[in-house]
Amino acid sequence: MHRRDLLKAVPMVLAAPSVRAASTVAEVKPHTGAPTLFLDGKPAFSASWWIHAPMPQKWTSAESSRGAARAGVHTYAFDVGSAIEWAGPAPGRSSHFDFSTVEARFGRILDVDPQARFHLRVHLEIGRDDWWSKLYPAELELHSNGRRYTQSFASTLWREQANQFLKALIQHLSQTGLLDRVIAFQVGAGHTGEWVKGETSMYEVCGDYSEPMRRHFRRWLHDRYRGDLQHLRSAWNDPNAAFETAEVPTAQQQLQAKRFLFRDPRQEQRTIDYFRCLAETSAAAVIDFCRTVKQATARRKLAGAFYGYLMELAWNGGFFAERPDSPYSTYQRSGHLGLRLVLDSPDVDFLVSPYSYGYRGIGGDGPTMLPAESARIHGKLILIEDDTRTHVDAEPNYGRTSTLAESVAVLRRNFAQACIRGQGMWWASWKADPSREPGFTPLLETFLRLGERLLETDRTPASEIAVLIDDESFFYESSLNNLDVPLIFQQRLWGLPRTGAPFDTYLLQDFIDGRLKPYRLYIFLNAFRLDAQRRENLARQLRRDGRAALWIYAPGYARDDLSLDHMAELTGLHFASGEQPWGARVHITDFTHPITRGLPPDLDWGTDSKLGPIFYVNDPQARVLGQVVYSQGNCKPGMAVRAFPGWTSIYVAAPNLPAPVLRAIARFAGVHLYSDAGDVLHASRDLLAVHTVSGGRRAFRLPRPVEVVHDLFERKTVARNTAAFEVDLPPASTAFYYTGAGARLASL
């Protein structure tokens, strides 16, 4: 029996009056330095239990949810939407919506936990062989291999019907009293509701060649170029280009770039425009659906989405072992590059991501996939999906832990970082199941207690390092992941968390717009493409107050064309380049500078992936600290520093700088270092978290004297009236400290 028919066949088992509860008003507002969930006017730690969607006859998450409720978790995140309530035509039904089993299914949760609230993950993606695809085949994506897939993001029919469904769902929940228990609606499309079309973003197959996208792309071009045909033809370098005949770029044009890792705007503006159009189209759908939720709920409920994975999308299908490997990044073809638009929308309250897939096990880090501090300054609450594969989980991948102790260390690591960054969480019920592992119950109780009480600590960022990622520059990159893996994915997970100082991640545009607090060190991951105005504004923000800039690989290379002069304009350093693509590695040659003094002589870093061009410093006024080694045995100046009035420019030719080098650069820039041990470390003004593999004696230096240092997990004070303290850390463990005023200690 089809799932839809199964649901229809089950009679309602829950009487409406037991559904009723006091109506909950959910908002996101600033509180103690971070966007915070407010429930009925009071700040609350956002903590949910992610469960399998409840079914009337059998619900597999019942026992784990009962255990979570005993621990104090009363908000449940689960799936609704397409193939369930958005069910398609059926005899005797006047619409495509079927809400006949909603009360019965939601009632299974209420039977377990009468205090239950709901975070609804509303799936709006259409199944490839679903009823909608059969009714409206012309609205589906058309791939470069000639196959049709799920609905096009450009389909106005899909958008209209999805909005109708959202309104009808909210109306039904309101009529039954269930809306009173709903906190949030999370709108989702794409693979697993995460706004990524897996088929056409991770492999050689490209899209979207459907008629809806063709029409949309042409309208988008007309708007972008303001109907100026000569402007379009000049930008595309094509005398025959026309708004009414423009086509989506071919697969070859999407996958290959003229300058190996870079797109030449003089020759490839058409492809650049399409990727930008796709990003804006995806972002517009997210915003549209969230706006519908806000309007239909009189702005009394939260709206958000999985979106903005700019720190993560270097992976592809091969990373997930779903299909044979692919050499391509997911960035350009994912649609997530519209993050800036989503952050600017007043109708989006929160954004969600799983924590990074890159290094989840013991010794790894657990960050969001978004540039977290940009979300903060735009007032968006970030929720972390903690789906850690614990020792009770059968899944062998994604850093699965082997013992309860390892599971505790990883779950503590993720929780502590979320608290320090002012984020919320949900835990996957079948991976942290108290009914299968009793040790998870006290862990959840601790998380909930601390999550609430730490809301009253000072959660403003204490970092002196800003890590900047540029959404704009991705449009000018090749679709290959040769660069993005070592430059963003690995750099974020390996070197940066072990620097010994906290850091904040932002969109570059927020820095250019003057939204950031002052930092001592600015790390520009991919500041490749800036027009004249962005360059001028960036210089105004950077070149003052003794600030230091760390540039990696190809800063400023793209403007209206690709040029070494553009790199010099941005960085103040002069460059030359090698043309043959090859793996680039940097090693130190001058150990007398403050940055390199004390670093081991056998230290080197870089990537075996082919980079091209390969850039090196050709500036007699710069102090050369190291060489970049690449094809034909070339050894060129690949690490250099040059001081200017009011600021310092530091360049490194190869990505994936190791922690000792980052630590040395940070120290040179005047950044306060908490530790030199190389553990994963995060800190705010009142909190410090350390995740260690080796364990052992550790010494920590605080940026200011504090009245008390208190171990939050072990519930004991370790030091008083100090700016430094020492502790013994167990191997494979996470420690979490409050470092602040003694008067607050009683509440912790």
Q: What is the pLDDT of residues 546-604, one digit of tens each?
A: 999 999 999 999 999 999 999 999 999 999 999 999 999 999 999 999 999 999 999 99
Residues 609 and 715 in one domain: no
Tokens representing 524? 């520009």
Residue 472 lies in a domain: no
Q: What is the mean pLDDT of residues 177-201?
A: 95
Domain of 36: which CATH number?
3.20.20.80
With a cut of 60, say whether residue 7 has pLDDT above it.
Answer: no
Structure token pair of residue 288: 């549209």
* Token couple for 686: 């009142």
**Taking the C-alpha atoms of 526, 532, 533 and 537 in order, what is their torsion angle to the nearest 10 degrees?**
60
Let me know whether 432 and 541 are in one domain.
no
Q: Is the confidence at residue 315, as pLDDT, over 70?
A: yes
Q: Average pLDDT for residues 399-406, to the nearest whole number?
A: 95
Residue 397 has pLDDT above 80, yes or no: yes
CATH code, domain with 729: 2.60.40.1180
- Residues 147, 290 within the same domain: yes
pLDDT, position 320: 86
Helix axes 102-112 and 62-71, enclosed angle (nearest 10):
50
What whole-number distance in Å separates Cα of residue 282 and Cα of residue 334?
A: 9
DSSP per residue, 662-699: HHHHHHHTT---S-SS--EEEE-SSEEEEEESS-EEEE
Which of residues 613, 637, 668 is at a domain's end? Answer: 668
- Where in the sequence is the domain holding 740, given as residue range(s)? 680-747
Helix, strand, coil % over all residues of the chain, rounded to 5: 35, 25, 40
Which of 110-119, 130-139, 294-303, 323-332 shows the lowest per-residue confidence on average (mean pLDDT)?
323-332
* Mean pLDDT, the chain, integer: 95
Asked if 388 and 441 sit in the same domain, the reply is yes
- Same structural domain, 344 and 386: yes
- Report the candidate in 47, 43, 53 with the shortest Cα–Cα distance to residue 69: 47
Percent of the chain with pLDDT over 70: 97
Predicted pLDDT at 9 = 33
pLDDT of residue 11: 34
DSSP state of 247: -
- Mean predicted confidence (pLDDT) in 72-96: 93
Instruction: Inform me whether the pLDDT recorded for 3 exceeds 60.
Output: no
89 within domain boundaries: yes
Burial of 59 (0-12, 13-18, 19+ CB in 10 A): buried
Q: What is the mean pLDDT of residues 394-406?
A: 93
CB atoms within 10 A of CB 647: 18
How much is the pLDDT for 293? 98
Do 9 and 75 share a structural domain?
A: yes
Mean pLDDT of 263-277: 98
Residues 27 and 145 both lie in one domain: yes
Residue 21 has pLDDT above 80, yes or no: no
**Using 50, 70 and 90 to split pLDDT, how confident is the model at 322?**
low
**What are the tens digits of pLDDT across the range 28-41?**
999 999 999 999 99
pLDDT in tens, 630-673: 999 999 999 999 999 999 999 999 999 999 999 999 999 999 99
What's the mean pLDDT in 423-442? 94
Q: Indicate whether 662 and 685 sit together in one domain.
A: no
Mean pLDDT, range 693-719, rounded to an integer = 97
Distance, CA of 634 to CA of 631 (rounded, Å): 6
Whole-number pLDDT of residue 17: 37
| In a shared domain, residues 57 and 102 | yes
> 459-484: per-residue pLDDT in tens?
999 999 999 999 999 999 999 999 99
User: Own/partner pairs for 592-597, CB < 8 Å, 24+ apart?
Assistant: 593/623, 593/625, 593/641, 594/664, 594/667, 594/668, 595/625, 595/641, 595/650, 595/661, 595/664, 595/665, 595/668, 596/625, 596/626, 596/664
Q: Please say which residue of 456, 482, 512 terminates a domain.
A: 456
Is residue 130 situated within a structural domain? yes
